[in-house]
Amino acid sequence: MITKKPFYFSIDFEDFYHDSLRALNVTSPKSKEKALYTSYERIKHICHKYLENKKITFFTTGIVAKKNPELIKQIHNDGHEISCHYYFHDNIRDSNREDFAHNLDLAINEIGNITGEKPLGFRAPNFAIDQHNTWAYEELSKRFLYDSSYRTSLNILELKNQKNFVYKNHMLNEFFIYEMPTIKNIFNIRSGGTFLRLFPSNVIISSMNESYKKGHIPLLYLHPYELTLNHDFWMSLDDLSFLTTFKKFYTYFRQMQWSHLGHNTVENKIKNITKFFIHQGPMKNLVLNT
């Protein structure tokens, strides 16, 4: 019998439709509430079938919480952890300390008003905090017990020699996003998102094994748009009509990468991963049970 290694499954709970239009400078885009509900049904199915019905962590954007309070309440009442995925799905490296702190507090309030609890953990949209953005980690350490935004290919001991995640009186527990280097270092493979959809299970399992060997806790992450099977977050040509013709068609077809490719392989890959790894529950257990 195989001794299964531990891992944590989490969802970056965001609205691809809203966030993509915002990235194209649309002010106050609509959101796809129904698609978020559909994705939650699929997530419940996965928890039931492959994760022994254990609870998971939802890194939720403030804007999703604001627009879908009933859904977030339901997820929270079902026993899952609601953590924070910033207010908008913006790249933090493009921000500054003041703006970042302001948007963090907005998100924390939005989530706290629904769940009655302060979120304990944070994950940056697109993991887009650069390693030299120390101001971002300092602000996070004042508000959260843990973060899961820092990407690395290093062994945990090497990392701890370089960086301690202690900021004045505040300590941030960092749960690293491990990136497995490929031959010639062309790109690094993470266990989640597009990588999970496009690469075969054994590659993802290798990256999780390597992560574990280097002292990390393997983390597997997905997004709502990867779990729905009918292009539920799809932007129509009409939605994109404000763009120039070239940009409109480019954007329209480009969304295939997120909303279409590999979707029907996701469930089977989770099944394969759980032959070797066992989900541990919400990530808050990592900081509360010690």
Non-local (6+) Cβ contacts of 163 within 8 A are: none
Residue 16 or 234: the one with the smaller Cβ distance to Zn ion is 16
Residue (of 63, 3, 11, 1) closest to 224 by Cα position: 11
DSSP class of residue 36 equals H
Phi/psi for 30 (5° steps) reads -75, 165
With H, G, I as helix, E, B as strand and everything else as coil, classify residue 79.
Answer: coil
Q: Which residue is nearest to Zn ion (CB)?
A: 12
| Cα–Cα distances in angstroms (integers) from residue 175 to residues 8, 49, 68, 214, in the given order | 10, 26, 28, 13
Look up residue 193 and give its two tokens. Answer: 């998102």
CB of 124 to Zn ion, least distance (A): 8
**Nearest CB to Zn ion, comparing residues 101 and 124:** 124
When the beta carbons of 125 and 192 are compared against Zn ion, the nearer one is: 125
Q: How far is the CB of 268 from Zn ion (least distance, A)?
A: 23
What is the closest distance, in whole angstroms, from the C-beta atom of residue 160 to Zn ion in the complex? 27
For residue 22, the minimal CB distance to Zn ion (Å) is: 12
Residues forming contacts to Zn ion in the complex (CB under 5 A) are: 12, 14, 125
Nearer to Zn ion (CB atom), residue 14 or residue 174: 14
